Amino acid sequence: MAKVPTAVVAASGLVGGYAVARWSRKRQLGGAVLAVAGAAAAQRWRRQAGGAAAGALTAAYVAAFAGSHPLAKKVGAWPSVFGVAGAVALASWAVADRRSTDRAHRA
């Protein structure tokens, strides 16, 4: 069975964290979802792309979370969350997942 791409893990952490916080009305629970997915993605980023790439992608994940708040005031909560999740997913795919896929195809 193929591994779930890190792009999906990271995007799911951002979207899932917001959804859990909103629907449970417990921000800490949403934060836990966000943190667990971020940690899982970071660990895989490090294995797939190295420490520097993992650090940059982790910073992008945290920046996306923080940036979604002011962006939500302009475009709405869900569009903001989906926008930043898409941006992090794209970066994750470009830096980590694409490399893994390329190596698997060459093997």
DSSP letters, 31-98, are HHHHHHHHHHHHHHHHHHH-HHHHHHHHHHHHHHHHHHHHHHHHH-HHHHHHHHHHHHHHHHIIIIIH
State the number of CA atoms in the 13 A half-sphere of 70 facing the CB. Answer: 4
Which of 3-12, 66-75, 98-107 comes out lowest in average pLDDT?
98-107
69, pLDDT greater than 90 = yes
2, pLDDT greater than 90 = no
Range 82-100 burial, b when 16+ CB lie within 10 A, else e: bbbbebbbebbbebbbeeb
- Spatial neighbors of 45 by CB under 8 A, at least 6 apart, are 6, 53, 54, 57, 58, 92, 95, 96
Q: What is the pLDDT of residue 99?
A: 74
Q: pLDDT tens across 36-51, in order? A: 999 999 999 999 999 9
Do residues 91 and 57 touch, judged by C-beta distance below 8 A?
yes
